[in-house]
């Protein structure tokens, strides 16, 4: 009998893909979505009806401990993705990141302890490493809070590990590097590039082009979540999920333009630059621990894998029905 799984943040980019994949694999899924007066299920609104009818929806707010505990009742596993993730907005409203990312995680952990949940997979981010002090970055790399967002995620990660060490709460931490793919918010760089090009622009607005990233296609990230969820050895561990391929933002623009067969010129926009000491200049994942503990491996790896992921992403964004959901002329914080 398949376990009952709660996915927090199920209405978001990664959460919606993960929820759909769990349903397809036959799991009993409860989707925790952010309550709103529009009765929107976020990206799950666009899921096929055959998938949606097999999802139990729970509307709430991760900051509410009572609602979180109610959502977790009867579940075996919690995949905790709900968080605020936009870095520029964290400069604007840092307190909301403490409430959502740290206190929200505490709510999940406390309920997991009280309810006897068999596994919590908590979502971290490669941003907690800050600019790489060495590459590739393994899980022993020092943590550096270079933005209020990354500081809040460091706090959430440490809270999760403290519950494992203090109360033996069965927690595993997944640390995805820069996930991309269909449905991603235009606050991220790849959708920012694609939506501008797909809208017919030849001169696109971007921030710094020199930072490097380890981009992980959504399918690989989703499989990472499921692999960590299923692995007994992952309890008490922090595990990187990344492609082990480093590429600069400038070269990413060239690759996207090549895949889309577009001519492109770049205009740097001051508002899109992070403060100098806040910019993470280099990220490159060491994914050996994930391979060893979970037998997970990225499928979209190396330059060819990246181009294949970009092709699938551009095809989705280039569909007029999907492109119409984005405002390519607005800087999304």
* Mean pLDDT on 98-105: 98
Number of H helices, E strands in the chain: 13, 13
Structural domains in the chain, CATH included, are: 4-181+217-241 (3.40.50.720)
pLDDT at 245: 98
User: How many other C-beta atoms lie within 10 A of the C-beta of residue 292?
Assistant: 11
* Mean pLDDT on 259-281: 91
**Residue 329 confidence class, pLDDT cut points 50, 70, 90:** confident
| Confidence check: pLDDT of 112 > 70 | yes
pLDDT digits (tens, 9 = 90+) for 115-139: 999 999 999 999 999 999 999 999 9
pLDDT at 56: 98
Gap between the Cα atoms of 301 and 275, Å rounded: 31
User: How many other C-beta atoms lie within 10 A of the C-beta of residue 138?
Assistant: 15
pLDDT at 194: 96
pLDDT digits (tens, 9 = 90+) for 203-261: 998 989 999 999 999 999 999 999 999 999 999 999 999 999 999 999 999 999 999 99
In DSSP terms, 215 is beta-bridged to 178
* Mean pLDDT on 88-104: 97
| Confidence check: pLDDT of 50 > 60 | yes
CB of 121 closer than 8 Å to CB of 80:
yes
Q: Can you spell out the DSSP letters for 114-182?
A: HHT-SEEEEE--GGGG-S-SSSSB-TTSPP---SHHHHHHHHHHHHHHHHHHHH---EEEEEE-EEE-T
Task: Name which of 43, 1, 46, 53 is nearest 23 in CA terms.
Answer: 53
Structural tokens at position 20: 């759909």
């Amino acid at each position: 009998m398949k376990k009952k799984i709660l996915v927090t943040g199920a209405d978001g980019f990664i959460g919606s893909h993960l929820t759909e994949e769990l349903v397809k694999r036959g799991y009993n899924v409860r989707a925790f979505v952010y309550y709103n007066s529009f009765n929107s299920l976020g990206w799950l609104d666009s899921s096929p009806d055959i998938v949606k009818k097999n999802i139990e929806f729970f509307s709430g707010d991760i900051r509410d401990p009572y609602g979180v505990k109610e959502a977790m009742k009867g579940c075996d596993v919690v995949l905790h993705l709900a968080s605020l993730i936009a870095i520029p907005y964290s400069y604007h409203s840092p307190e909301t990141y403490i409430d959502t990312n740290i206190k929200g995680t505490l709510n999940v952990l406390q309920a997991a302890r009280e309810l006897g949940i068999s596994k919590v997979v908590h979502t971290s981010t490669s941003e907690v490493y800050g600019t790489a002090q060495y590459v590739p970055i393994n899980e022993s790399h020092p943590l550096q809070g270079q933005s209020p967002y990354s500081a809040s995620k460091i706090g959430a990660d440490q809270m999760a590990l403290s519950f494992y060490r203090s109360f033996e709460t069965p927690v595993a931490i997944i640390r995805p590097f820069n996930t991309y793919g269909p449905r991603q918010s235009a606050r991220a760089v790849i959708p920012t590039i694609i939506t501008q090009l797909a809208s017919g622009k030849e001169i696109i607005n971007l921030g710094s082009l020199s930072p490097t990233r380890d981009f992980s296609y959504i399918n690989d990230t989703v499989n990472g979540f499921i692999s960590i969820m299923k692995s007994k050895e992952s309890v008490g561990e922090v595990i990187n999920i990344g492609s082990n391929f480093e590429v600069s933002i400038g070269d990413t623009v060239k690759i996207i333009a090549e895949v889309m067969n577009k001519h492109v010129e770049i205009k740097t926009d001051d508002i899109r630059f992070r403060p100098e000491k806040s910019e993470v200049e280099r990220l490159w994942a060491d994914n050996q621990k994930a391979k060893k503990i979970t037998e997970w491996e990225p499928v979209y790896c190396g330059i060819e894998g990246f181009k294949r992921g970009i092709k699938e992403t551009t095809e989705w964004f280039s569909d007029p029905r999907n492109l119409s959901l984005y405002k390519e002329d607005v800087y999304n914080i």
